[in-house]
Amino acid sequence: AVALRGRLRCPCVNVSVFNSKTAELLSHHQVEIKQSFPKEGWVEEDPKEILQSVYECMDRTCEKLTQLNIDISNIKAIGVTNQRETTIVWDKETGEPLYNAIVWLDLRTQSTVERLISKTPGRNKNHLKHKTGLPISTYFSAVKLKWLMDNVEEVHRAVVSKRAMFGTVDSWIIWCLTGGRSGGVHCTDVTNASRTMLFNIHTLDWDPELCKYFDIPMEILPKVRSSSEIYGLMVSAHRPPTCLGDQSAALVGQIGSGCPVMSDHGLLTTVAYKLGRDKPACYALEGSVAIAGAVVRWLQDNLGIIQTSEELEKMAASVGTSYGCYFVPAFSGLYAPYWEPSARGIICGLTQFTNRKHVAFAALEAVCFQTREILDAMNQDSGIPLSQLQVDGGMTSNRLLMQLQADILCIPVVKPSMPETTALGAAMAAGSAEGVSVWSLRPEDLSEVTSEKFEPQINPEESEFRYARWKKAVEKSKNWETTEPVANGETSIFCSVPLGFYIIGSMLMLVGAKYIAGQCTLWFPWRLSVLQFRY
């Protein structure tokens, strides 16, 4: 079984091939994809580049299998795992994307979100949570789709003429792999659908009231399927694809389960997986962090503090402390458990002694502190304190990070020997689908996965002290963006109503005083159009 995983933290397409009997990784290949940042807070990817990277990875992986004398005709199924909220709209007649993919952490829809929340009773961002399990946020696909319909003429025309297709990355890849405009299958699975804000997690289908709320026509939406069933045949190789959202695939790879619980502490209630057409859905509480692994890329590409991700571990380990420096990487606002889009990243606690090594250490600690916040919320919502944390992903190769995580959580951290459990989970879902059935998901048939355990090495009092300082830094990062952009995209000091009144009042008092003193005539040397007050 093959798993295709698109990851944004280090944006790339990855193809991995597993042995369905032993869960052994046989071969893999990955290609980085470019991200563009047209404006501040905007993050885009080229859907055609994503697709081309999928084909390239599949070709290179098959070449590697052939070199290992493995017959590629033994590949029985393809599982797709993807960035769940990244949004694409394309033309079903031409097969062409109508705009770049808007990536999940993109912030351009903030004004759309604010308008929607302003219309809800009590300006409640959780107004739709009883159906969706989600707050109204820039994170999810519906507001991205609405922005495209309202702001991109090609998308608007295609929707009106009933040529538009909407989907997350899984839908785009599956549609293209199964034939595209020549009969491609337009579908998604429950895990991806549950991250749109258009999907009812109780009925497990698109909700007409939610679609009406966002003014989105239901005919452009993909058909919702389970996470483990044959959707169609790949045109060039006749292998059936299935799909699963990235975090859900990781959960399957870790052999997890869940039940529907609504969070009272800032978490998301989401569909974990539905492993078969007639199987029940399993649910999960999820805490989403906007910037975790991507902070490494920021240190490398934006600040030039490190040259490679491996260098970060050595640099941080050489000092062994942040020396009171705390880093809140709220580049796209704060996600769970705060859901504060107005927050921005800060580095605080700096002294003359602070150097780049301390900042590097603080960056790693920031990943751990964000995880601690999520786990605290989960413990409160579930009432069941977690006894250990299972981890996966590329950052688990950083042993210092794993130890820091155990120290901050005060519980063991368990790292599997095969860190890409997301890819493994997608492969398992594909291989176990009815009609493929080469992978048994019965507990007694699952292969034993070796792991390494990191035990806490500091006393709980020190951990609590550092965590409290982090929470203080988080509070400082909130409400940073309090102004709206003016028409040309710049920010005006007059957008702040109290500040605007203060400045205008001061000007009037100054002019009035001079007028009374007979020192000047009463006229205003600035353009009246500058005096704008935005609410």
Q: Above 80 in pLDDT, residue 525?
A: no
Count Cβ atoms below 10 Å from residue 334 Cβ, excluding itself: 25
Mean pLDDT, the chain, rounded, equals 84
Query: Among 110-119, 173-182, 411-420, 467-476, which stretch is predicted with the lowest mean pLDDT?
Result: 411-420
Nearest in space to 198 (alpha carbons), one of 183, 229, 220: 220
Among the residues of 215-308, which ranges form H helices?
246-253, 294-297
Tens digit of pLDDT for each residue in 144-162?
999 999 999 999 999 999 9
The percent of residues above 90 in pLDDT, for the chain, comes to: 57
At CA 300, angle to CA 296 and CA 304, rounded to 5?
140
Nearest in space to 19 (alpha carbons), one of 10, 28, 7, 31: 28
Mean pLDDT (whole number) for 188-202: 96
Nearest in space to 334 (alpha carbons), one of 133, 470, 451, 468: 470
Tens digit of pLDDT for each residue in 259-311?
577 889 999 999 988 988 889 999 988 888 877 778 888 898 889 999 888 89
Residues 6+ apart with CB under 8 A from 136: 113, 116, 117, 120, 125, 126, 127, 128, 143, 197
Tens digit of pLDDT for each residue in 480-511?
875 454 444 444 434 444 444 444 454 445 44
Q: Above 80 in pLDDT, residue 445?
A: no
Among the residues of 308-459, which ranges form H helices?
309-319, 356-382, 399-409, 421-431
SS3 category, 285: strand
First to last CA, the chain: 54
Residue 218 binned pLDDT confidence (cut-offs 50, 70, 90)? very high
Half-sphere exposure of 344 (CA within 13 A, CB side): 7
- Highest averaged pLDDT of the listed ranges 74-83, 168-177, 229-238, 332-341: 168-177
Residue 450 binned pLDDT confidence (cut-offs 50, 70, 90)? confident
Residue 482: alpha-carbon gap to chain centroid? 24
Phi, psi (degrees; rounded to nearest 5) at 37: -130, 75
Is the model more confident about 385 or about 8?
385
Tens digit of pLDDT for each residue in 224-249?
999 999 999 888 655 666 655 555 55
Cβ neighbourhood burial of 485 (10 Å; 0-12, 13-18, 19+): middle
Predicted confidence at residue 526, as pLDDT, reads 31
Categorise residue 349: left if φ over 0, alpha if ψ from -120 to 50, beta otherwise: left
Query: Among 164-168, 171-175, 396-400, 521-525, which stretch is predicted with the lowest mean pLDDT?
Result: 521-525
- 459-465 contacts, C-beta under 8 A, 24 or more apart: 460/410, 463/407, 463/408, 463/409, 463/410
Residues 6+ apart with CB under 8 A from 304: none
Predicted confidence at residue 491, as pLDDT, reads 42
SS3 category, 253: helix
Residues 6+ apart with CB under 8 A from 271: 190, 191, 193, 194, 201, 204, 248, 281, 282, 283, 284
DSSP-assigned beta bridge partners for residue 151? none
Mutual angle of helices 399-409 and 309-319, in 10-degree steps: 50
The percent of residues above 70 in pLDDT, for the chain, comes to: 83
Nearest in space to 110 (alpha carbons), one of 340, 328, 266, 370: 340
Predicted confidence at residue 246, as pLDDT, reads 54
Structure token digits, residue 382: 């579930």
Residue 174 binned pLDDT confidence (cut-offs 50, 70, 90)? very high
Query: Among 65-74, 363-372, 526-535, which stretch is predicted with the lowest mean pLDDT?
Result: 526-535
| Gyration radius of the chain's alpha carbons | 25
Predicted confidence at residue 533, as pLDDT, reads 28
Residue pair 456/409 in contact by the 8 Å Cβ criterion: yes
Q: What does pTM read for this prediction? A: 0.79
Return d(Cα 289, Cα 373) in angstroms, integer. Answer: 10
Predicted confidence at residue 255, as pLDDT, reads 47
Mean pLDDT (whole number) for 368-375: 94
My answer on whether omega of the bond before 222 falls inside 30° of 0, hence cis, is: no
Q: Could you tell me the CA-to-CA distances from 126 to 135, 299, 409, 506 in Å, in that order?
A: 5, 34, 29, 41
Q: State the DSSP string of 443-507.
A: GGGSPPPPEEEE---S-HHHHHHHHHHHHHHHHHHTT---S-B-TTS-B-GGGSHHHHHHHHHHH
Predicted confidence at residue 244, as pLDDT, reads 53
Is the model more confident about 285 or about 410?
410
Residue 184 binned pLDDT confidence (cut-offs 50, 70, 90)? very high
Half-sphere exposure of 360 (CA within 13 A, CB side): 24
Return d(Cα 494, Cα 485) in angstroms, integer. Answer: 11
Predicted confidence at residue 310, as pLDDT, reads 86
Predicted confidence at residue 532, as pLDDT, reads 34
Among the residues of 126-253, which ranges form H helices?
129-132, 141-151, 153-160, 169-177, 190-193, 208-214, 246-253
